Amino acid sequence: MKSCGKVRNSPNLYILDANYLNFKEALDFFCRPVANAIQNKSVKYVCKFFGLESDFELGEEEKLREEFAWSFEGVDED
């Protein structure tokens, strides 16, 4: 499938399409594997999975990790 001349090979694009079309069943279908893939994963893993870069400065990120340490408990190895 092509869109605007680019090959569409990312499941994330299907999620955006289903959301745009307000197609709940398709949205649930495409979101489930993504949710399973990132469940109990580290922030670093999730950022890499979605191709995101952190915009926090090193000190800011460390402060937040200390303040919300509970949210980093039980994280699987990447």
Question: Could you list the pLDDT tens digit for every one of the 78 residues in the chain?
Answer: 444 444 455 778 899 999 999 999 999 999 999 999 999 998 889 888 888 888 888 899 889 989 999 988 888 877
Residue 26: name the closest of 39, 13, 7 by CA: 13
DSSP code for 71: G
In the structure encoding, which two tokens stand for residue 5, read together? 């001349």
Residue environment code for 43-65, b if the CB has 16+ CB neighbours within 10 A, otherwise e: eebeeeeeeeeeeeeeeeeeeee
List, in sequence order, every residue forming a beta bridge with 19; answer none if it has no partner: none
